[in-house]
A and B are shown apart, each in its own frame.
Chain A
Amino acid sequence: MTELSTTPAHDGFSAFLARAVASRSFVIGFVITALVALVALVSFFWTPYDVTKLVVADRMLPPSATHLFGTDQFGRDVLSMIMVGSRNSIAVALVAVGIGMGIGVPLGCLAAARGGWLDEVVMRFNDLVFAFPALLSAVMITAVFGPGAVNAIIAIGIFNIPVFARVARAGALAIWPREFILAARAAGKGKARITVEHILPNIATMLLVQGTIQFALGILAEAGLSYVGLGAQPPMPSWGRMLFDAQTRMMVMPSLALFPGLAIIVTVLGLNLLGDGVSDALDPKLRQRR
């Protein structure tokens, strides 16, 4: 089955699109993800209220027509804060995926292509990083440099490196012994060129799917870090921070905790569905398996 997942049939982009549109996961995931991205974009130009303005008179308002999701303890509009907060979540998770892919994939491909001691070193490096869950790295970084959104990016990004390195290495190792690679070698192509021409295109699917998974995990991790104060700092609105602030006022107004939580769940769900849908569409035979 690994073979199928690494080299799905290639029958053109239009066929992929047709299968994608037929996949319910893909459609729902795509719509949700696109909406979240849209909300983040819109928040740069317009939000219902200014999130930096504190209106004491309007504090702790329940959801209503004027404030759809209500207001917080400083009278800020919760909907506006969620909109602005999405930027932080997406930025942190996206950059962290970028770090993980940018370093992890070359490492994994190199390990698979060269083998021997280099492979061993890469794998041991993976073991090492896996020993530091993102939260521990964040704790260490914060202890030294103080809290901030950049910490979250670095901590989550570092943890993504071995994830992508493993996926890329495993995928590449499954491709290397295949006969078309031997044929390419017999055609005089070097390992670097084979990696670029043959290995990467064939593991791109797995990497893409893993990318959406790590993106979703990144959003969850960022929320957790902000919640405990290791991520984005006030006044920058962030979903995790909003939940922290909501906790003490939960008896009074549970809706304060409800909406940021739903924002996280919907975003993560959308990304996960999108990932499932992409792998379904690229590889119809895998559909039954998830």
Chain B
Amino acid sequence: MSLLAIENLSLSIGDTEILKDVDLAIEPGEVLGLVGESGSGKSMSALAIMQLLPEGARAIGSIKLNGVDILGAGEDAMCRLRGNDIGMVFQEPMTALNPVKTIGEQVAEGIRWHAGVGRAEAEGRARIMLDRVGLPAEKFPLSRYPHQLSGGQRQRVVIAIACALKPKLLIADEPTTALDVVLQAQILELLRELVAENRMGLLLISHDLAVVTEMSDRIAIMRGGEILETGETARTLAAQQHPYTRQLALASMHVPEGRSPSPLGGGSAIRLSEAKLASRGGVTEGWRTAAATPSDPSGHLSLKGGDGAAPLLEVTSLTRDYPADRHSLFAKPTMFRAVDDVSFCLAPGRSVALVGRSGCGKSTLARLVLALDKVTSGTIRFMGEDITSRSEADLRTARRNMQVVFQDPYGSFNPRHRVERLVAEPLSLLEPAPDPLKRRELVAHALHQVGLKPHDMQKYPHEFSGGQRQRLSIARAIITRPKLVVADEAVSALDVSIRAQILDLFADLNRKLGIAYLFITHDLTVARAITDDVLVMHEGRIVERGATAHVLDNPQSDAARALVDAAPDLRRAISRKLREQG
């Protein structure tokens, strides 16, 4: 008998069908990976098992836990099951814990409730559990509050809460999506151990095919509320019987045309794209020279243009300090150094990745380069001119040639303006400012370049999907014909198939318009797919630099090695699974 058996589960909220005839089964001790893009119904399936659905949701079908139907169970019966037989781990560790209660209270609460034990015993058991998830008593007493812990540590507390009563089934809904790759690897390892120790069934929900492949025994692929395919992980992904499975797998490993198809073939790929670029004649000399010297970790200016060609962007000894929280009114404010003595050069038309763990200072660096934040010391030269601490009026030329694409396709537009006005925003930097007719023409052209229709300019941003909005962001960024576009995690909020398309668009614009990119990303797959060179950042410093493929294949610094080792890689994961599962 299966631990969990979902049969013909359908779910609707109002008139919207969320799930259609979902069938899933998990055996004791088995890890089932549930993969799908956003909106596919993964999380709703999990909430249906927990019976924590939003108000107005109606579910029909059957969900059996150890043969007992729980879909029809009353709220009292579900309260006895939740936390005791089924535990759940959520996506957002920063908000999943009650800020006004200690971690000890929060872990012990479920134990007291279900096991009916006193406070002292519950706290004792909570202590053991916290030790087990890697939060030892010396550093993490029960009296700690959530705000005193980092994101990774908070996720450990959430896991401790979920596993405190050794549930038979653990549901983990995107448990590592909010964490950086190194933390992701640690949390996944912890989950793997806990599941093995207690012979728990694990339902692991993720958008990341690589994560699911590494973790799960069986895999289920979901789209539009339906399970399209389910089976043994290795076999399913090797055979790719369902076209959507194939599409997902391909998109996860996608590399834009003309770029390196294989992570191991870096050198030849560069030559290939070099030839392509050269044949278009739109690229400067410096590009080739820089590609010929793949790595020079010691030098400050390893990414310089060479051949005397002026670098597009030249950053020298850049530092940014922020005041840290003061502990007393009279104490001198201590400084936190977010960016620490960073120097690099970027040649015209070149694409550079800035990678590192979350909080390493990469986004701060991007904002400094964009002159959106004040420099503490050091200089930024752009197109030969020093733009450090210039007034807004004197920045106009630089701004015209340097634009930005942000991560969140929902947050980067004023929801009250039409596309025409949104995309045209940087046109005020042109001198003279174009008249309305010319403006409209430029917007139409920019929309065309990113694959949207000219009549889209009459719409509001909410009428577009996430991927289309990111195209709008790009249209806005290229409308002034900039020389440099800074992309801050520009594809990390997108589903894999959309991400592949946007990466293609970036590569295409680089080829056609010769735009240089500074690509800030935590995702090494993205860095590999789109950039020529890479800068690895760690605690505010650049610790390694060189040609992307070269650095990522042979990382020298500890920080780079940790990133590369932790990064999920679908190709590697499939071949490992194939060996394990035969």
Contact = CB atoms under 8 A, between A and B. Distances in A.
Q: Quick check: do A and B touch in the complex, using CB within 8 A?
A: yes
A10 B415 contact: yes
B140 interface: no
A201 B425 contact: no
Contacts of B406: 179, 182-183
Given A7-B416, A201-B416, 10 more contacts: A10-B460, A179-B411, A180-B412, A180-B414, A182-B406, A183-B425, A187-B429, A188-B429, A189-B425, A202-B416
A35 B399 CA distance: 54
A7 B425 contact: no
A186 B370 contact: yes
Interface residues of A, number: 22
A185 interface: yes
A281 to B, nearest CB: 15
Interface residues of B, number: 28
Contacts of B416: 7, 10, 201-202
Interface string A1-41: 00000011111100000000000000000000000000000
B414 A202 contact: yes
A233 to B, nearest CB: 46
A11 B460 contact: yes
Interface string A56-92: 0000000000000000000000000000000000000
Contacts of A182: 367, 372, 404, 406, 412
Nearest to B411: A179
Nearest to A201: B416
A185 B403 CA distance: 10
Given A187-B429, A188-B426, A180 B413 contact: yes
A10 B408 contact: no
A7 B415 contact: yes
Interface in A174-205: 178-180, 182-190, 197-198, 201-202
Interface of A: 7-12, 178-180, 182-190, 197-198, 201-202
A12 B250 CA distance: 40
What's the dominant secondary structure at chain A's contact region? helix
B411 A180 contact: yes
Nearest to A191: B392
A180 B413 CA distance: 5
A182 B414 CA distance: 11
A198 B414 contact: yes
The 3 closest A-B pairs by CB, nearest first: A187-B426, A179-B412, A179-B406
Interface in B422-443: 425-426, 428-429
Contacts of A7: 414-416
Nearest to B55: A288
Given A188-B395, A188-B426, A188-B428, A183 B415 contact: no
A109 B69 CA distance: 56
Contacts of B428: 187-189
Contact of A186 (B372, B407, B415, B460): B372
B476 interface: yes
B396 interface: yes
Contacts of A186: 370, 372, 399, 402-404, 426
A188 B415 contact: no
Contacts of B415: 7-10, 202
B462 interface: yes
A10 B399 contact: no
Contacts of A189: 425, 428
Interface string B386-402: 00000010011001101
Contacts of B392: 188, 190
B550 to A, nearest CB: 32
A185 B392 CA distance: 9
Contacts of A201: 414, 416
B420 to A, nearest CB: 14
